[in-house]
Amino acid sequence: MDCNCHNTEKISLSHEAAAAVFKALGHPVRLHIVRMLLAGERCVCELHKGTERDLSTISSHLNILKNAGVVTAEQRGKNIYYRLAIPCLSTVLNCLVD
Partner DNA sequence: AAGACATATTGACAATTGTCAAAATGTCCG
Partner DNA sequence: CGGACATTTTGACAATTGTCAATATGTCTT
Contacts with DNA, residue ranges (CB under 7 A): 23, 27, 29, 43-45, 48, 52-64, 73, 75, 77-80
Interface segment toward a second copy; rule CB under 8 A; list 15-23, 44-52, 57-65, 72-80: 15-23
Q: What are phi and psi of 92, to 5 degrees?
A: -60, -50
Beta-strand relationship, 71-76 and 79-84: antiparallel
Interface segment toward a second copy; rule CB under 8 A; list 39-47, 58-66, 71-79, 86-94: 86-94
For residues 17-76, which are near a second copy according to CB under 8 A?
A: 18-28, 30-32, 35
**Residue 65: CB minimum distance to DNA, A:** 10
Q: Residue 92: which of a second copy, DNA, none does it interact with, CB under 5 to 8 A by kind?
A: a second copy
**Distance between alpha carbon 74 and the CA centroid of its chain, in Å?**
14
Q: How far apart are CA 82 and CA 30, in angstroms?
A: 13
Mapped onto helix, strand or coil, the DSSP state of residue 48 is helix
Q: How far apart are CA 55 and CA 35, in angstroms?
A: 18
**Residue 12: CB minimum distance to a second copy, A:** 5
